Amino acid sequence: MPSKKAGSASNSASGAEWAKWVYLIGIIVAGLLGAFGGFLPLGGAAAMVISWLLILAGILSGLFFLDSEDVVNFGIRVLLLFAVKEALSLAVIGSFNLGQYVTGFFTGVYDFLLPVGLTLLVVYFWKRYLSSMMP
Instruction: Dump the DSSP string for 63-106.
Output: HHTS-GGGHHHHHHHHHHHHHHHHHHHT---TTTTHHHHHHHHH
Would 125 be classed as within a structural domain? Answer: yes
Percent of the chain past pLDDT 70, that is, above it, reads 82
pTM of the predicted structure, to 2 decimals:
0.80
Would 65 be classed as within a structural domain? Answer: yes
Question: What's the pLDDT score for residue 118?
Answer: 95
Question: What's the pLDDT score for residue 41?
Answer: 78
> Counting Cβ atoms within 10 Å, is residue 27 exposed (0-12), middle (13-18) or buried (19+)?
buried
Residue ranges, the chain, pLDDT below 70: 1-15, 92-98
From residue 55, give the alpha-carbon distance in Å to each of 6, 14, 42, 94. Answer: 28, 23, 18, 34
Percent of the chain past pLDDT 90, that is, above it, reads 49
Range of the domain at 120: 17-130
Tens digit of pLDDT for each residue in 87-125?
887 776 665 666 788 888 999 999 999 999 999 999 999
Would 83 be classed as within a structural domain? Answer: yes
Q: 61: closest CA among 16, 106, 29, 30?
A: 16
Would 104 be classed as within a structural domain? Answer: yes
From residue 24, give the alpha-carbon distance in Å to each of 31, 54, 93, 99, 127. Answer: 11, 11, 28, 23, 25
How many structural domains is the chain composed of?
Answer: 1
